[in-house]
Structures are given as C-alpha cells and as structure tokens.
C-alpha cells in the first residue's frame, strides 16, 4: 500500500508545524495507522534550520503526552513532489508555499491547504504564532491543532 505523505508548514518550523507534526504522529499511532503515513514539518523561512522546536512548545506538548522530536528545516521544491498534502498554519505561509511552487514550476502533485480548513471546535481561521507571546499561547495553539489535525485525519480516512 502506498503511504500518504503529509507536510505541516509554518514560518520558522519551531512552534506550530512541529507541534502539528507531533500531534498527527501521536494520533495515527493511537489509531494504529502509523505505517500508512510519512509525516514531516518545515518552515517557509530558514532561520532555525537544524534546531529543536521552541522549548516552550515542547514543554506544553509534553504535558499532554506529546513528544516533539523534529529538527527545523525549510520547505523546498522537492517537497511538492514528495508530499500528498502540504498544510499551512496561516495565510502568509499558504501564500509563501504557493509562491515557491509557482516560481519553480513544481509539479502539481501536492494538495496545498490551510490546516484550519479542517477545524471544528475553534473559530480561528489561522493558527496564531505563539513565539512572541506568553506560555498560555502555546497551550492555545496545541488546543487549536489537536482539533484541526484530527479533522484533517478524518477527512482523508
């Protein structure tokens, strides 16, 4: 069976997208579907390449039993060939992803969507960036992502 590949994308790949990746990994493991997926995350910017996720996000996620293990990387043109779904955290990332794709005449393999298209419990149209806020912002982002990531999985299974 061919695996479904999913890439979560935010700005720097140290807060929102690694959290979404870890939540999705946790969710598919709990449902016994882990062998059906390739899951990764990336940022549209390259400032944090190779770094762990923000410590505040890792601590907030760990309190929920979710381990964020990924290292930051930047999205690249090969991702459009390698991932079935590319899920943007906000409108700016969505635009940047589509601009990268169109500038490089990348193949039309990936379905590029906003993660909040799959929300059910939250009204937020974007996943807010918690980086410059307080600790409660990281918990709020995790709440939003648990909702929308679950909705995404339901939409494809």
Active site residues: 10, 16, 129
Strands 111-114 and 4-10 turn out to be unpaired
Report the alpha-carbon distance of residue 83 to residue 107 in Å, rounded.
11
* Strands laid side by side in the 37-43 sheet: 37-43, 4-10, 85-88, 111-114
Half-sphere exposure of 94 (CA within 13 A, CB side): 15
> Hey, which residues does 41 pair with through a beta bridge?
8
Half-sphere exposure of 116 (CA within 13 A, CB side): 18
Q: Is 74 helix (H, G, I), strand (E, B) or coil?
A: strand
**Gyration radius (Cα) of the chain, Å:** 14
């Amino acid at each position: 069976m061919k695996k479904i590949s999913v890439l979560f994308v935010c700005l720097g790949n140290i807060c929102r997208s690694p959290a979404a990746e870890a939540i999705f990994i946790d969710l598919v493991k709990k449902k016994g579907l882990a062998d059906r997926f390739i899951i990764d995350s990336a940022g549209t910017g390259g400032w944090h390449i190779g770094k762990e996720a923000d410590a505040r996000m890792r601590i907030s996620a760990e309190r929920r039993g979710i381990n964020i293990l990924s290292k930051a990387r930047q999205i690249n043109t090969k991702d459009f060939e390698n991932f079935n779904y590319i899920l943007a955290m906000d409108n700016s990332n969505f635009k940047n992803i589509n601009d990268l794709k169109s500038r490089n005449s990348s193949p039309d393999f990936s379905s590029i969507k906003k993660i909040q298209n799959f929300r059910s419990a939250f009204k937020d149209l974007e996943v807010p960036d918690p980086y410059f806020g307080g600790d409660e912002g990281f918990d709020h982002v995790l709440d939003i992502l648990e909702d929308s990531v679950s909705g995404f999985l339901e939409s494809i299974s």
